[in-house]
Structure 1
Amino acid sequence: MSIQIGQPLPDLEVAVIEDGAPVRRMPSASLLGGPRVVLFAVPGAFTPTCSDHHLPGYVQHFRDFRERGIEVFGMAVNDAYVMQAWAAIQQVPQGLRLLADGNGSFTRALGLEFDGTAYGMGVRARRFALYAEHGVVRQLHVEAPGEFRVSTAEAMLQALTPGTDTPATMG
């Protein structure tokens, strides 16, 4: 069963890729426990939709999130070195942190994994975005297989805009 609105995010160690610094391993609670956090996940770094649309949308709108006082994290079930190379190629701005969930432990703890072995990918993260306050999930947007609508940067900005009719849970 996947994580639900109102539940705390799991606390497991992940690798952090940030601002060209050396890779660090940190507890997810220390990263995602801030007052306002968006975490989006992609099935894989360097995959077409992830590289052409998903991460670039968050790069493009990063300032919009920061102006609202929201920290942004992106995650994939890839090793830290792949995520580091992806961040460099995608020109991820300072402050937008990528998390490498190399073994998929954090993804499994969220209950948001999918089995991509039929595609030669192993277990990966489903495409999703969530909003948390102080480590508690307040919104969760999980994509249906093969879709890319509810977890985009634009969709999250709209969902976080007061007065919009965007449901808290989708997908």
Structure 2
Amino acid sequence: MTIKVGDPIPAATLNILKDGVQPITTAEIFGGRKVVLFCVPGAFTPTCSERHLPGFIERYADFHARGIDVACIAVNDAFVMGAWAKAQDVPDGMLMLADGNGDFTRAIGLEMDATKYGMGMRGRRYALYAEDGVVRHIAVEAPGEFKVSSADAVLAALG
């Protein structure tokens, strides 16, 4: 079942690259905070690298000014997410979350089969906003689109 507004963020452990691979739980990420989590189908892929992540980098200060943390997630490993963060000049404070086995992605029902592209199981492109671990807004893209999950679209939805 796909996660929806009002649902709690499920318990899961993700990874970040910080002095080596470090586990981080969804409780640590979302507990007591306002967080925008956006998912890209893959680090270093065209739309993800040219539009999705750059938009959140450009608007990072706008989210921060509203007291909102920003996190990017992909079904990639922590080393890939770390290299992508470095290549894209991701600001300090923006979490680059690795869901290497796709456990979190499956738990929220937003996986997609990208095997025909040689990419295996990946996460659908989406953005969600949560307060203290409860989803308050979610925007999931239709296949092949990039409209509702951009940084600008999320800021507009949050008012």
The alignment's TM-score, normalised by the length of structure 2, stands at 0.97
Measure the CA separation in 2 of the matches of 1:67 and 1:17.
25
Measure the CA separation in 2 of the matches of 1:158 and 1:145.
22
Measure the CA separation in 1 of the matches of 2:118 and 2:100.
16
What is the aligned partner in structure 2 of residue 12 from structure 1? 12
What is the aligned partner in structure 2 of residue 58 from structure 1? 56
Q: Deviation digits for residues 92-135 of structure 1, max 9, x if unmatched?
A: 00111110000000000010000001110100000000000000
Q: How far 1:13 moved relative to its partner?
A: 0.6
Number of equivalent positions: 159
Measure the CA separation in 2 of the matches of 1:34 and 1:116.
34
Q: How far 1:23 moved relative to its partner?
A: 2.9
Residue 107, structure 1, aligned to residue 105, structure 2: yes
Runs (4+) of structure 1 exceeding 2 A deviation are none
Aligned-residue CA RMSD in angstroms? 1.0
| Corresponding residue SS for 1:29 | helix
Equivalent runs, 1:109-128 vs 2, <5 Å: 109-128=107-126
| Corresponding residue SS for 1:31 | helix
Q: Deviation digits for residues 29-80 of structure 1, max 9, x if unmatched?
A: 2112233110000000000000000000000000000000000000000011
The alignment's TM-score, normalised by the length of structure 1, stands at 0.90
Query: Any unmatched runs of 5+ in structure 2?
Result: none
Whether the 8 Å CA contact 1:141–1:151 is kept in 2: the answer is yes
Identity of aligned residues (%): 58
What is the aligned partner in structure 1 of residue 38 from structure 2? 40
Among residues 116, 127, 139, which one is paired with 1:141 in the alignment?
139
| Corresponding residue SS for 2:6 | coil
Query: Any unmatched runs of 5+ in structure 1?
Result: 162-171
| Corresponding residue SS for 2:73 | strand
Q: How far 1:148 moved relative to its partner?
A: 0.1
What is the aligned partner in structure 2 of residue 95 from structure 1? 93
